[in-house]
C-alpha cells in the first residue's frame, strides 16, 4: 500500500468505525508503516478540518477538534435542555474537581446529582473508583484532549472547586 493510500485508509477506517479502534489491530493492518508516524501525518492532513485523530496508549479515534465543542453544543441546542445543563454542570465539576465524591458534588450544586451521575456513567463519560468519580478517557477524547490538565483554565477552575469544598 502506498503511503498516501495508507493515510486515506486510516482516516476512512476511523470515520466508519465511529469509535475507538485498538492500536494493535491498526498496527497489524498497517504493518508496513510506523502507526504513530502515520497518525501524525494524518493529523497534519486534517489540520484544516474540524477533525483530528486522538491516540492513547491502546486506542486510536477520530474526534472533534477541541476548539469546536462550543459550536457543536450551540448547534445541537444542548443549553436549552435543563437535564443537559445538569449533565454538563456535573461533568464539569467532575472534570475540574475530580476525583470527587457524590456528596461533594451535591454540596457544590446544592441538590442531588445521583441520576445525573448515573447517566454519565451509562454514557461512559465518567468512571467510578471506590467512592470517587473522575472523567473518562472517552470524555477527554471526545473533546480532543489527552489529559485532564489540558482542559481550558484547568488550574484556576480546579482551585475554585476545591476551595468551595472546604
Which H or E element spans position 50?
Answer: none
User: Structure pTM?
Assistant: 0.54
Q: State CA 73 to chain mean position distance.
A: 14
Task: Give the CATH number of domain 3-64; options: 1.20.1630.10, 3.30.70.60, 1.10.10.10, 3.70.10.10.
Answer: 1.10.10.10
Name residues whose C-beta falls within 8 Å of residue 118's C-beta, 6 or more positions apart in sequence. none
Rounded to whole angstroms, the Cα distance separating 31 from 147 reads 28
Same fold, 3-64 and 70-164: yes
Backbone angles phi, psi at 146, to 5 degrees: -90, -35
- What is the DSSP pairing of strand 21-22 with strand 132-135? unpaired
pLDDT (0 to 100) of residue 156: 93
The model's pLDDT over 59-117, given as tens digits with 9 standing for 90+, comes to 888 888 878 877 877 776 655 555 677 888 999 999 999 899 999 999 999 888 888 89
Domain boundaries of the chain, sorted by first residue? 3-64, 70-164
- Report yes or no: 21 and 13 within 8 Å, Cβ to Cβ: yes
Per DSSP, what are the bridge partners of residue 21? 60
Amino acid at each position: 500500500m502506498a503511503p498516501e493510500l495508507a493515510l486515506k485508509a486510516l482516516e476512512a477506517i476511523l470515520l466508519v468505525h465511529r469509535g475507538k479502534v485498538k492500536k494493535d489491530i491498526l498496527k497489524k493492518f498497517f504493518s508496513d508503516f510506523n502507526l504513530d508516524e502515520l497518525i501524525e501525518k494524518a493529523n497534519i492532513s486534517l489540520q484544516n478540518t474540524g477533525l483530528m485523530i486522538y491516540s492513547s496508549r491502546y486506542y486510536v479515534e477520530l474526534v472533534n477538534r477541541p476548539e469546536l465543542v462550543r459550536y457543536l453544543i450551540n448547534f445541537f441546542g444542548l443549553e436549552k435542555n435543563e437535564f443537559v445543563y445538569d449533565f454538563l454542570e456535573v461533568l464539569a465539576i467532575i472534570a475540574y474537581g475530580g476525583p470527587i465524591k457524590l456528596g461533594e458534588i451535591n454540596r457544590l450544586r446544592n441538590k442531588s446529582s445521583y441520576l445525573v451521575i448515573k447517566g454519565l456513567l451509562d454514557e461512559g463519560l465518567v468512571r467510578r473508583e471506590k467512592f470517587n468519580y473522575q472523567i473518562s478517557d472517552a470524555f477527554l477524547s471526545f473533546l480532543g484532549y489527552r489529559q485532564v490538565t489540558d482542559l481550558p483554565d484547568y488550574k484556576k477552575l480546579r482551585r475554585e472547586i476545591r476551595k468551595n469544598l472546604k
